[in-house]
Structure 1
């Protein structure tokens, strides 16, 4: 019985090693496509006002209103499509690195608005980006050549 369980665990670890980062990449991409697509439609995205205000500040007023929203939407959809398809992945990850600055900028630019005491819904919305950034780091590591190695293979290599 123990040998059967060990064999199943080994097979599961091997499957996860082969597929988990690709599943993470595609699911992260779908999140970006979904959130980006919402931003193409005024009044639909719950983050619209905050994202536009952030880009207005970061661009020193060069981008505002729907133009700012369309830039954000286009960028997020582009990032998402590179993640889902795997095409232009490194370019998408570079764009995402820049976008992450914008994702977290509201904490610096609008801190007192986001935390008037307890965190607002917008502050909580941005907080989820920590998970997206961590997932992007894993996907980026894979894109740059890193790989997972099952524990059994690591033990054999030592």
Structure 2
């Protein structure tokens, strides 16, 4: 293997993990303050559908924001990383479910709307966390 690849590989995975953690913290913290998250309406509509309206809006956003912030902190620090990765994938399944649960908001004639694009960008975070997971499982 090329020397540069060997030199950069360990650090790059840490940078990748911390970067996703920072993004997760940022979006989580925004959900803790009303009307600051660009995804607030998507999150509320998705949570309403997923829970059959059992979780009220005033609980949904703080719950999501806290979960995202905790996942982000675990990714940044590496503490409880395997648990955080499991929570990350569970959260992402809920996020991506909005593509099917909210078709009118996510798609316009088969093309993603701005909200749909906002959700689809999470595919990059999933790919990043798959690399982090693979690294973590080899330890």
The alignment's TM-score, normalised by the length of structure 1, stands at 0.82
Q: Partner residue of 1:37? A: 29
1:4-153 equivalence runs, <5 A: 10-117=2-109, 118-145=111-138
Q: Which runs of 5+ in 1 are unaligned?
A: 1-8, 147-158
Q: Is the 8 A contact 1:42 1:66 kept in 2?
A: no
The change in CA–CA distance for 1:41 and 1:12 in structure 2 (over 3 A counts) is same
Moved over 3 A (4+): none
Q: Is the 8 A contact 2:21 2:76 kept in 1?
A: yes
Q: Is the 8 A contact 2:27 2:68 kept in 1?
A: yes
Q: Which runs of 5+ in 2 are unaligned?
A: none
Query: Secondary structure, in 3 states, of the residue corresponding to 1:46?
Result: coil
Equivalents in 2 of 1:10, 1:108: separation in Å? 44
Using the TM superposition, give the Cα deviation of residue 116 of structure 1 relative to its aligned residue in structure 2, in angstroms: 2.4
Query: Secondary structure, in 3 states, of the residue corresponding to 1:122?
Result: helix
Q: How many residue pairs are counted as aligned between the two chains?
A: 138
CA RMSD of aligned residues (A): 1.5
Using the TM superposition, give the Cα deviation of residue 11 of structure 1 relative to its aligned residue in structure 2, in angstroms: 4.0
Equivalents in 1 of 2:114, 2:22: separation in Å? 22
The alignment's TM-score, normalised by the length of structure 2, stands at 0.93
Equivalents in 1 of 2:87, 2:4: separation in Å? 34
Structure showing greater Rg: 1
Using the TM superposition, give the Cα deviation of residue 10 of structure 1 relative to its aligned residue in structure 2, in angstroms: 4.1
